[in-house]
Amino acid sequence: MLAQLAADPGDVETDDYWVIYDDGSVGRVATTGEEPVLSRPGRLVTEEEYQERAGELAAEREAHLARLAAEDEVRTRAAYEAFLEAGFPEEVARQMSGYTGQTDGD
């Protein structure tokens, strides 16, 4: 084992295992020996199943980020318009609200 630890990691052959955990997350485990024992509930899957689930997670993340951006646009635009209605100059209203989008006059 010490010889294995001292060896260049590039010289050690590993086996890759693909995991879908019970919480829906995914992982890749590289071992130099037997099939891995998972540290949390999940199951070993094929690389194709892993890639499919990883793609689903990426799509979910992108959709979530798009929803957050849309909500932020609505929130900052409302604040921007409220500052304008209160008499603040446009530049100040943008700075205070964080709104960076287009206005009706743009």
pTM here?
A: 0.68
What residues does 43 pair with on adjacent strands? 20
**How is the chain classified by DSSP, letter by letter?**
-HHHHHS-GGGS--EEEEEEETTS-EEEEEESSSPPPPSSSEEEE-HHHHHHHHHHHHHHHHHHHHHHHHHHHHHHHHHHHHHHHTT--HHHHHHHH---S--TT-
3-state secondary structure 75-104: HHHHHHHHHHHCCCCHHHHHHHHCCCCCCC
Domain map of the chain by residue range? 1-45
Give per-residue pLDDT as tens, 32-59.
Answer: 988 999 999 999 999 999 999 999 999 9
Q: Which two tokens stand for residue 70?
A: 């849309």
Instruction: Establish how many alpha carbons lie within 13 A of residue 73's alpha carbon, considering only the half-sphere containing its beta carbon.
Output: 9
Beta-carbon neighbour count of residue 90 at 10 Å? 13
The pLDDT, as a whole number, for residue 33 is 83
pLDDT digits (tens, 9 = 90+) for 5-19: 545 556 788 999 999
